[in-house]
Structure 1
Amino acid sequence: MKTVLLASVALSVAALTPAMALDVTKTATIAAPPATVWKTIGGFCGIGDWHPVVEKCTLSDKGGKKHRTLSLKGGGTILEEEQARDDKAMSYTYTIVESPLPVSDYSSTIAVAKDGAGSKVTWTGHFKAKGAPDAKAQEVIGGVYDAGLKGISEKAK
């Protein structure tokens, strides 16, 4: 009886524990100077020019913050809000406001740094899985980053 009670309490606590934040970080080395890479990706709506799944990016201002609406190839939209920008350090941080992706509480930073004769782009995201197992949410976000970094590598020359 004691074992059953302890197991029941443990399951109840586990069910009430908030989902743990997940992280995904992807990097790419690009054979172009940082200023060239930043010029390619630095504009908040620049993603429409280099990410292969983004058909169109529309910039708007809501409450004094920049928002971008990403129209995806094959349908669907993602609404994101810029949280911070540092053009000198070549980075910006944004959050997802609305999205079909299996994540919530999503925050991400993309940054460019000098790496030898070229550049290193680092894309990091923090989020919780929503409607999918943690591993699936990480796989989806990792795939988004991999495709984007490949697009940046092809555009920033």
Structure 2
Amino acid sequence: MATSFLHAQRQITLNATPDEVWQRIGDFNGLHLWHPAVSASQLLAGSNNQAGAERLLTLGNGATIHERLLEHSDSQRLYRYGIIESPLPARDYQSLLRVEPAADGKTLVTWQAEFVADGASDDEALAVVEGIYADGLDQLRQLFAS
């Protein structure tokens, strides 16, 4: 039986410049500084913002997510990462966080992933991942509200 990848994506337009937004969210080991579900981030291996770096995210409920950085580009304002181990209902998970210019000096933030549902239906797995993205992007909206 073929395994099909699911595609999750959320976007938000912020009233800030791309550089301001990237400065806030472009640090691979800094997710805890802006995502409300993440209480801590610890670099386990490699150098921060260098491919191969690994972080351990601790969530508010004590659960942890172990991730590896696959690509990081300040010039393109993006990073890609994969999950090594997590309680999420997903496997073969790879994600992209990107910051791009939008109209009127604003900024478009896109957070997307491809993964296979694991331990949940496709719809349930998508809802979990997209919920995580929505919570983070809603927090960014508040941080950049003017």
Fold shared by both chains (TM-score > 0.5)? yes
Please name the residue that 1:31 is paired with. 15
CA distance in 2, matches of 1:57, 1:99: 14
CA distance in 1: counterparts of 2:31 and 2:46, whole angstroms: 19
User: C-alpha distance in 1, partners of 2:78/2:66?
Assistant: 19
In the TM superposition, what is the alpha-carbon distance from 1:143 to its structure 2 partner? 0.0
The answer to whether structure 1 residue 42 and structure 2 residue 33 are counterparts is: no
CA deviation string 1:65-120 (max 9, x = no partner)? 21110000012000000000111010000000000000000000000000112100
Contact 1:23 1:125 in 2 (8 A): yes
Aligned pair partner of 2:91 in 94, 98, 104: 104
1:148 aligns with 2:132: no
* Shift >4 Å, 4+ stretches: none
CA distance in 2 between partners of 1:98 and 1:90 (Å) = 26
Unaligned runs of 5+ in 2: none
- Matches for 1:130-145 after TM superposition, within 5 Å: 130-145=118-133
- Aligned match of 2:44: 60
Amino acid at match of 1:120: L
SS at match of 2:29: coil
User: What is the identity, as a one-letter code, of the residue corresponding to 1:127?
Assistant: F
Q: CA RMSD in A?
A: 1.5
Name stretches of at least 5 consecutive residues in structure 1 with no aligned partner.
Answer: 1-16
**Once the 2 structures are TM-superposed, how far is the Cα of residue 35 of structure 1 from its aligned partner?**
0.2
Q: Distance in 2 between matches of 1:34 and 1:122?
A: 12
Please state which structure has a larger fraction of its residues in helix: 1
Tell me by how many angstroms 1:62 deviates: 5.0
Matched residues, percent identical?
35
Question: What does 1:70-89 correspond to in 2, within 5 Å?
Answer: 70-89=57-76
Q: 1:155: Cα distance to partner?
A: 2.6
CA contact (8 A) 1:25 1:124 kept: yes
